[in-house]
């Protein structure tokens, strides 16, 4: 009788340990290019947004912007998945009316100007499957130089004189894309 109680206890303990291990979760380390979002208005408590972009933030880490966002090539505007742009109101981009909705936001970097592209592509990793036929709007904007260098690719919005401006910054590269309401 004592032997069967000991065997029952050992079996029960073994099953408990096995059950605990089965339920354990494996969590990944922090992504090297963490996902972020920028919106206007930027106040996270303000639920009356006009525009929002979700993107991943690669870092230069002693590399150049032109190494990571190659001139003349379509770039996903960040890292990992292509940046996802949501317009909560109809807006004009480069003279083209863009309906409220969710889109992919790409850019084509250049030395003096960048082309911003709004596309109907969704759930796209990188820009490998970019299809020009799905473009909704394109606008070419000048490149300026920032006073400070940003190691992490960054996006911010502000209200200009007659448009919302999406500011892209990386290294000392600065680009402002206007969205008119």
Tell me what pLDDT residue 104 has: 97
CA 123 and chain centroid, separation: 12
Tell me what pLDDT residue 31 has: 83
Where the chain has pLDDT below 50, the residues are none
Tell me what pLDDT residue 76 has: 94
β partners of residue 171:
150
What are the residues whose beta carbons fall under 8 Å from the beta carbon of 50, sequence distance 6 or more? 40, 41, 87, 88, 89, 164, 181
Tell me what pLDDT residue 16 has: 56
**Cis ω before 41 (30° cut-off from 0):** yes
CB 73 within 8 A of CB 96: no
CB 39 within 8 A of CB 167: no
């Amino acid at each position: 009788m004592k032997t069967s109680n000991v065997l029952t206890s050992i079996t029960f303990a073994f099953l408990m340990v096995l059950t605990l291990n089965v339920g354990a979760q494996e969590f990944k380390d922090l992504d090297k290019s963490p996902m972020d979002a920028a919106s206007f208005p930027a106040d996270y408590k303000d639920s009356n947004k006009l525009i929002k972009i979700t993107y991943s933030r690669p870092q230069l880490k002693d590399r150049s912007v032109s190494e990571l966002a190659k001139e003349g090539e379509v770039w996903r505007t960040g890292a990992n998945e292509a940046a996802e742009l949501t317009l909560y109101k109809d807006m004009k981009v480069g003279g083209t009316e863009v309906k409220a909705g969710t889109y992919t936001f790409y850019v084509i970097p250049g030395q003096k100007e960048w082309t911003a592209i709004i596309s109907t592509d969704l759930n796209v990793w990188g820009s490998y499957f970019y299809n020009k036929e799905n473009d909704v709007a394109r606008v070419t904007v000048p490149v300026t130089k920032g006073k400070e260098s940003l190691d992490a690719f960054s996006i911010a919005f502000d209200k200009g004189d007659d448009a919302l401006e999406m500011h892209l910054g990386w290294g000392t590269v600065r680009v402002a894309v206007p969205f008119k309401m």
